[in-house]
Structure 1
């Protein structure tokens, strides 16, 4: 009975050793790229401000902001043939500015032009397109591998394989704890054993962090797909409840300030951030869809939705996001460590560098063993 149990455990151990070795080697290069780009992206706000590439509003000595529709009119005059379909206010990161998304007829938000406007001046802020900046390049590489939605799914697959590597690594390392003191570093047994002990020790230290970051990476990789599911289910149901009763030209004259005010009044304690215009791919033909961010605690990382009637500017309903979208929203701050200020970002960067070390160190261990055998 014991012999049979020992053989079963041996097969289980060997299977996990095989998974840990070959999956880790398979994802070593792309995961190393994710680590390097991730370290830089953790500090993207600080880097953009130091480089002077972050858009800023002109200090106007307390001048009252002008109506948001003036900024929209300026943007549409600057880009004939395009119409503003979304507006975003972010007082924490971009005070005094509104981010506008302009689309040509028939285009989706993936083809949108994004411009910042100074609200008080009703002027566009000169800046390079985000995808032309270093941070834009690194983010597209990190999140999409320059392949759009397919690249996001590839990133999710890489993260899933890394999760398998982590779990199998725990199984492989567990028997050693019975033989040696946990965290022991054998410096006198040769370079390879020294590197192996470092691999096991550092892997144990960052295991919990790595598990969270890779799990959130899997969820974020399915972000675009999840939004598509929401469009096909809940948004489509909304559109059926509110069919286009009148063509877009007969809607009331747009007034974005009234839309923001109505949403803020309907959802006390929540701050309206993004407004998606009627007829866009994320709204109904006769409603503005407003994204509201919580103001305190856990709600700061959550969103809820408000449907604002484009005729009366009344809030037709408040809606919660489905659980799967809430999970993806919560994944972003956990993935990048941007919810606890600079100290947490530094901790996230150190853990990323340690993870990069054990990734490269693991590949070296395989190569050194293979060279010794040969």
Structure 2
């Protein structure tokens, strides 16, 4: 691969080590990275896809709404063998209450199902297991390769390989910039050299974006472990500080309407995103856990937690989640680019496809180099 070694510093061990690291970290990650790019491109538009496929039903907007606890009661009556995990409302689906349920013995979301009610009538209008939807299927593939927490760690390993490829590629490309103007494409000197220049140039263009997406992907690979750390360390502290179970955590005295109102007033300039029932993997035995976020942009993905007493409906405490949990939550919008509207999604998509191009281009450069170096059979010259 003589044409890839610049005259300036080309013989240094550091340069050759980074060239080797760039080549092999890229090759090992190529196939899984292609899958991640393709699924990630679709997941950038998960909201639009879910809307087009009617995952969350649309309801007629009414001037008045029934209390939320009536919707909860409707779900409980229909699914008596299930327990309520949480309720949520999304700005994209006004008038629809999302009620998550799970088997009686479960306190987490591994086997959860989401039911949708029309707040104007408190009637069921649909339900879905999100993993059975197209975007849910692709998200599971993208996030953990259908292998659960182990798959998330595999994804983190792939992200680490890509990060090594990016950093080593930056070292390899630096001498070229010193020799020539940035972005020069050497035409008329063979297809391979032109492809190499394109590989370096496009890689430099998307380097910043690639670093952001790769680092956030690496962090998201530890998402389940981070949540487990919070459940093992922070949640017991909350339970010790605000201990004492209520008579029936699955049917608290304080209604969801009272809890929602209390959480809304707890922190100014925020909105309630979801409320989790007491006695789950994300709450104490006595308290509802309300998640509150900002109202626009990236602030919508930065949460505070309010604990609301299941007996009295009063706010017991407002807590800032630990930094490591906040880091995971903030990583997701940066990873998928879904916090800045359609223009940002289109920019993310363009960067993904440029990254796909240099990934395939890099694999071709490696294959072409091996093909050129392979011994020719006798008589080939003739």
Same fold by TM (over 0.5)?
yes
SS in 1 for 2:93: coil
Distance 1:109 1:369 in 2: 49
Asked whether the 8 Å contact 1:97–1:119 carries over to 2, the reply is yes
Q: Residue 86 of structure 1: CA displacement? A: 0.8
Q: Which residue of 1 aligns with 2:60?
A: 59
Asked whether the 8 Å contact 1:85–1:277 carries over to 2, the reply is yes
**Which segment is superposed worse, 170-179 or 249-258?**
249-258
Q: Residue 263 of structure 1: CA displacement? A: 0.8
1:188 aligns with 2:192: no
Q: Residue 58 of structure 1: CA displacement? A: 2.0
Asked whether the 8 Å contact 1:53–1:127 carries over to 2, the reply is no
**Which segment is superposed worse, 99-108 or 278-287?**
99-108
Pair 175,249 (structure 1): closer, same or farther in 2 beyond 3 Å: closer
SS in 1 for 2:155: helix
Asked whether the 8 Å contact 2:26–2:162 carries over to 1, the reply is yes
Q: Which residue of 2 aligns with 1:314?
A: 314
Distance 1:280 1:215 in 2: 31
SS in 2 for 1:106: coil
Q: Which residue of 2 aligns with 1:30?
A: 32
Q: Which residue of 2 aligns with 1:331?
A: 331
Q: Which residue of 2 aligns with 1:177?
A: 177
Per the normalisation by structure 1, the TM-score is: 0.93
Summarize deviations over 1:96-131 as a string: whole Å, max 9, x none: 111111122222321112222221121222255322
| Runs of 4+ residues deviating >4 angstroms | 6-9, 249-252
Unaligned runs of 5+ in 2: 1-7, 375-382
1:105 aligns with 2:104: yes
Asked whether the 8 Å contact 2:249–2:277 carries over to 1, the reply is no
SS in 1 for 2:88: strand
Unaligned runs of 5+ in 1: 1-5
**Which segment is superposed worse, 174-183 or 282-291?**
174-183
1:293 aligns with 2:293: yes
- From 39, 46, 49, give the equivalent of 2:48: 46
Q: Residue 246 of structure 1: CA displacement? A: 4.2
1:13 aligns with 2:15: yes
Distance 2:352 2:142 in 1: 14
Pair 9,330 (structure 1): closer, same or farther in 2 beyond 3 Å: farther
SS in 2 for 1:308: strand
Q: Residue 47 of structure 1: CA displacement? A: 2.4
Asked whether the 8 Å contact 1:251–1:311 carries over to 2, the reply is no
**Which segment is superposed worse, 278-287 or 68-77?**
68-77
Asked whether the 8 Å contact 1:69–1:254 carries over to 2, the reply is no
